[in-house]
Structure 1
Amino acid sequence: MRGLAADTACLRSVLAAVDGPVVLVGHSYGGGVSGAAVGNSRVQALVCIAAFTPDKSESAAELAAKFSGSTLGDTVNPQSYPLPGGGTGTELVIDRAKFHRQIAADVPTADAAFMAAAQRPVATAALEEKAGKAAWKTIPSRALITTADKNIPPAAGRWMARRAGSHVTEVDASHAVAVSRPAVVADVILDAVRATR
């Protein structure tokens, strides 16, 4: 979560080492990283779980701002981190006191507290970087829209899914749907697997 191009290149190298068919699942920012599947014939399907699905030259920050409803900006604290080769970058950390409400409102308090402590900050550069080619243009996709999401507004999720021609499932869940509703997430992924057979 330091740069979209670098993260995509890393995932591309992982995919190149996988034998057999792949159903690629991305959550949140990870939906943009699914561009790593472009040109990989083994990737049979994409599954976007409360995720951004940018088109070429779009950023996650741009897509989040396209529709009202995200309250993430009010919960993050920017901090500096060292860049390779010198200089500093800025990353965003969600305030621990606000994490439960913002990310995981339907997750037990103790679990949300652990998630807040273990969170991986995202670089502002990663959120602002423009995407390369979109894998969803050539690979069938499914989208799980979380209607209580305070990061990616449901309207944004629906718009991206409609544009991608994704098969859509909606669930009343927070952004942390994989923790709060794991069976729903698993069902969407397994449906994608079955559809590739």
Structure 2
Amino acid sequence: MSKTPTIVLVHGAFADAASWAPVARALLDEGYDVAVPPVFNRSLTGDSAYIRSFVEQIEGPVLLAGHSYGGAVITVAGVAENVVGLVYVSGYALEEGESLGALQGGFPDSDLSANLVYSPYPVEGSDPGTDVSVQPEAFPDIFAAGVPKEISRVLAVSQRPLSAIAFGEAAPVAAWKTKPAWGIVSSADHTINPEVERFGYQRANVRKVLELDAPHLVMMTHPHEVATFIIEAIDELA
């Protein structure tokens, strides 16, 4: 590969682009080009279309890294021609035709499922949609375990909800069928059952799996390990 890929970091549900800040800083310090776009968390197809459009406006190759729901997003957006690889970070590696709900349904629920909040939001010209978020009281221990309490309390009241329709949307494509992939499993994850992560990565035939004794927000609690893993993926592509 003649040009080092730009690394595009894709956040998931209940978080925003700032959740990638420690990893982005580490990668920037190493001299890599990095972009961390927003994900609007309105629908899998809509979010993926936005990220694909964002990626296609970058000159040269792109390595996509997706955390949590961001893994589902890069599974679809990763078919963009200039995407050369996928890195799943505690993420969903969906099969073509599969939804988040269908993948999760094959495994025992995580602690997250009993601590979700459902709230209506207006949709112009249609019935109201439903936002899904995490109980603020449960957020620090379930979603942000391992993050200092003074930070997790702020994250809990500033989370970006995920529209309920995203859980039932089937992935129209699976980029890992044609693009090399890598995966990080957070073995202490209370948001996604780690078996969901392992199963998805195995099915996607990822080149390497890194198991970390880490919580869901692994890129905040273990930024060095995550950044190093992404760099190793780029080195392997080279």
* TM-score normalised according to structure 2 size: 0.80
1:73 is displaced (CA, Å) by 1.4
Counterpart of 1:179, as a letter, is M
Q: 2:151 aligns with which of 111, 132, 137?
A: 111
Task: Tell me which residue corresponds to 2:135.
Answer: 95
Does residue 37 of structure 1 match 2:74?
A: no
1:86 is displaced (CA, Å) by 3.2
Does residue 196 of structure 1 match 2:237?
A: yes
Task: Tell me which residue corresponds to 1:19.
Answer: 59
Taking the aligned partners of 1:111 and 1:123, their CA distance within structure 2 comes to 24
Structure (1 or 2) with the greater helix fraction: 1
Structure 1 stretches of 4+ with a deviation exceeding 6 A read: none
Counterpart of 2:234, as a letter, is V
User: 1:89-115: per-residue Cα shift (whole Å, max 9, x none)?
Assistant: 111111110001111111111111111
SS in 2 for 1:139: coil
Q: 1:76 aligns with which of 84, 104, 116?
A: 116
Does residue 61 of structure 1 match 2:101?
A: yes
1:158-173 equivalence runs, <5 A: 158-166=198-206, 167-173=208-214
Does residue 120 of structure 1 match 2:120?
A: no
Identity of aligned residues (%): 35
SS in 1 for 2:119: strand
Taking the aligned partners of 1:21 and 1:52, their CA distance within structure 2 comes to 23
Task: Tell me which residue corresponds to 2:173.
Answer: 133
Q: 1:153 aligns with which of 188, 193, 198?
A: 193
* Contact 1:69–1:150 under 8 Å retained in 2: no
Taking the aligned partners of 2:162 and 2:154, their CA distance within structure 1 comes to 18
1:188 is displaced (CA, Å) by 1.3
User: 1:37-90: per-residue Cα shift (whole Å, max 9, x none)?
Assistant: 21x332111000000011111111221221114121111110000113232011
Structure 2 residue runs without a partner (length 5+): 1-40
* TM-score normalised according to structure 1 size: 0.96
Structure 1 residue runs without a partner (length 5+): none
Counterpart of 2:226, as a letter, is V
SS in 1 for 2:138: helix
1:163 is displaced (CA, Å) by 0.6
